[in-house]
Amino acid sequence: MKPSGEDRAARAGGPWEECFEAAVQLALRAGQIIRKALSEEKRVSTKTSAVDLVTETDQAVEALILSELQERFPSHRFIAEEAAAAGAKCVLTPSPTWIVDPIDGTCNFVHRFPTVAVSIGFAVNQELEFGVIYHCTEERLYTGQRGRGAFCNGQQLQFRETDLSKALVLTEIGPRRDPATLKLFLSNMERLLRTGAHGVRVIGSSTLALCHLASGAADAYYQFGLHCWDLAAATVIIREAGGIVMDTSGGPLDLMACRVVAAGTREMATLVAQALQTINYGRDDER
Ligand SMILES: O=P(O)(O)O[C@H]1[C@H](O)[C@@H](O)[C@H](O)[C@H](O)[C@@H]1O
Ligand SMILES: [Mg+2]
Ligand SMILES: [Mg+2]
């Protein structure tokens, strides 16, 4: 189902509305490209590990999004996954900054597993202003604007209240597969299951996992090994749905720290954070 124009128009207004609408239109266009390419042959390359994949579609979609935004907003700055992989610095300044993941779920995309999204976040004065995440195969447009709520195809999103012993917890593996990392990853999953959580799920897309939390389809998320472009848009959507996003230390979210805990309440997020052993993936702004 496509988001209806009148739904979005109903929320018109806000200081960055022109940028928000540009992000929505670009996410929908990118989603069409990704949806078409999902079933086609792909040229697959690797980045930081044999399981950290990138395709020509990741590159093409990122080029489309960035070229259109740079033309419309030449004074703005950009942080994007594939540009960062090519050596661009991830520095969040007070300038209006776009934070883009052209395909979130590239490993899924390569395998034609239909859990794939495009994620476009936007920050000003180092404060996240809005996020747009488009589930390309289910045609679900998730949006969040600071102080203006979170929506999926025009339907307002709200966290479901629950406690950890009844929670469905989502996480992601991250790109490292060395024995020590795998041991910690599996140990953290075991620790969460020992709390009595109903289940733990890994779906291959951190942005869509966080959207599931915001829509009440899951209750908590944690990850070591994601990036600022996985987190930016989803953080606004989670917050605007009434949820909490924090650092795995229990402190405030650090967008560049490559780690996160999210839940409907600070109490739940803190319980998850306290159960975790840290896996050090470094920082996006120190690469
Ligand atoms: O590279 P993309 O943009 O597909 O992002 C995924 C990361 O690659 C995974 O390591 C990570 O574990 C998450 O699955 C994340 O969504
Ligand atoms: Mg990603
Ligand atoms: Mg990506």
Q: Is residue 1 part of a domain?
A: no
- Ligand 1 atom closest to the CA of 53, numbered from 1: 1
Res 3 pLDDT > 70: no
- Ligand 1 atom closest to the CA of 223, numbered from 1: 12
- 247 annotated to bind ligand: no
CA of 48 relative to ligand 2 center, distance in Å: 13
Same domain, 134 and 31: yes
Percent of the chain with pLDDT over 90: 93
Tell me which of 153-167, 169-183, 203-217 is least confident.
153-167
Q: pTM to 2 decimals?
A: 0.95
pLDDT attached to residue 6: 45
Burial of 21 (0-12, 13-18, 19+ CB in 10 A): middle
CA pair distance 223, 248, nearest whole angstrom = 8
Q: How confident is the model at residue 102 (pLDDT cuts 50, 70, 90)?
A: very high
Residue with tokens 């929320």: 11
CB 265 within 8 A of CB 239: no
Nearest to residue 275, comparing CAs of 188, 201, 213? 188
Pocket of ligand 1, beta carbon within 6 A? 52, 81, 101, 103-106, 172-175, 204-206, 225-226, 230
CA of 107 relative to ligand 2 center, distance in Å: 10
Q: Is residue 75 part of a domain?
A: yes
At 140-168, the pLDDT tens digits run 999 999 999 999 999 999 988 789 999 99
- Ligand 1 atom closest to the CA of 52, numbered from 1: 8
Same domain, 100 and 213: no
Q: Is residue 10 part of a domain?
A: no
Q: Is residue 86 part of a domain?
A: yes
Q: Would residue 244 show up in a list of annotated catalytic residues for this protein? A: no
Which of 38, 211, 230, 279 gets mutated to test ligand 1 (max ligand atoms within 8 A of its CB)? Answer: 230
Nearest CA to ligand 1 atom 2: 104
pLDDT attached to residue 172: 98
Same domain, 124 and 74: yes
At 69-93, the pLDDT tens digits run 999 999 999 999 999 999 999 999 9
Same domain, 176 and 236: yes
At 21-63, the pLDDT tens digits run 999 999 999 999 999 999 999 999 999 999 999 999 999 999 9
Q: Tell which of 107, 140, 156 closes a domain.
A: 156
pLDDT attached to residue 162: 85
CA of 193 relative to ligand 1 center, distance in Å: 23
Same domain, 131 and 204: no
Same domain, 257 and 188: yes
Q: Tell which of 122, 139, 156 closes a domain.
A: 156
- 101 annotated to bind ligand: yes
Q: Tell which of 127, 156, 185 closes a domain.
A: 156
Q: In which domain, by residue range, is 80 found?
A: 16-156
Same domain, 25 and 77: yes
Q: How many domains does the chain have?
A: 2
Same domain, 92 and 129: yes
Same domain, 34 and 130: yes
Same domain, 96 and 142: yes
Same domain, 170 and 135: no
Q: Is residue 6 part of a domain?
A: no
Indicate the average pLDDT of the chain. 95
Q: Is residue 283 part of a domain?
A: no
- 81 annotated to bind ligand: yes
pLDDT attached to residue 10: 45
Q: Is residue 126 part of a domain?
A: yes
Q: Would residue 103 show up in a list of annotated catalytic residues for this protein? A: yes
More confident residue, 88 or 13: 88
Nearest to residue 176, comparing CAs of 45, 287, 282? 282
Same domain, 117 and 180: no
Q: Is residue 7 part of a domain?
A: no
Q: How confident is the model at residue 14 (pLDDT cuts 50, 70, 90)?
A: confident
